Amino acid sequence: MTESSTPSDTDLLQHPSVDADGIARRPLAQRFTQATYVPASLFKIASYWSWNGTRIYRRRFGIGTNEFAVMGSLSNFPGITWAGLCENLRMNKATASTSVAKLLEREFVASELDGRARRLYLTAEGVRVFEQMRPIAAEREQKLLDGLTADEIASLKAILDKMVDRSSVLQRYDGELLNGRSGLDGDGSDDAG
């Protein structure tokens, strides 16, 4: 078995972490931990930020963090198109569509046809709600950043900006994986879920 190949079922049963009954009761030698795998930290922060943010925003305003992100984008780029919104937020079309539909239903957002493009704007009610949500988001950010120096925060933002800029490379690689052109061995099935 090469390092880039996918282990067979027989290989897995002989793996040092897997017991005879096929259950891995010991940690694997190569782990994805917060200390060794950057996405682990990003995932934890994003999950907590999004999950609790959605709970807070839904209780207070009837919308979640995805809708808040859309409103934030519209506050910066009035009249942005659907495609521009998805690109700006790096949000998939299905999530953006669901979020915009909720905002349209609540009349926080208006949609206008401009030729063939559909442009999105905050309504007066959307501006009012967003202005109430923004201080909560800012305070939550401050709680997350407390304990970091101004230089550490500036470095963190610069590093995250670089990572966001690199997301197009990841997107291309993910497309290769999804289309079976990555160079990794495996059957290409997507039954993980």
Rounded distance between C-alpha atoms, residue 45 and residue 111, angstroms = 32
| Report field, pTM of the whole predicted structure over 0.75 | yes
Look at residue 193 in the predicted model and tell me its pLDDT. 39
Token pair of 161, please? 């900006």
Cα torsion angle, 66, 91, 155, 131, sign? negative
What are the backbone dihedrals phi and psi of residue 60, each rounded to the nearest 5 degrees, phi first?
-90, -35
Is the pLDDT at 4 greater than 70, yes or no?
A: no
CA-angle at 171, arms to 166 and 176, nearest 5°: 130
Query: Among candidates 75, 76, 74, which has minimal Cα distance to 118?
Result: 74
Rounded distance between C-alpha atoms, residue 139 and residue 131, angstroms = 13
Name the percent of the chain lying above pLDDT 90: 63
**85 within 8 A of 97, measured Cβ to Cβ:** no
**Span 40-88, pLDDT tens digits:** 889 999 999 999 999 999 999 999 999 999 999 999 999 999 899 999 9
Token pair of 17, please? 């972490």
Look at residue 180 in the predicted model and tell me its pLDDT. 82
Pick from 9-23, 40-54, 117-131: least confident: 9-23
Name the percent of the chain lying above pLDDT 70: 87
What's the burial of 72, exposed, middle or buried (CB within 10 Å: 0-12/13-18/19+)?
middle
Report DSSP state, residue 189: -
Catalogue all structural domains in the chain, each as residue range(s) with its CATH number. 63-150 (1.10.10.10)
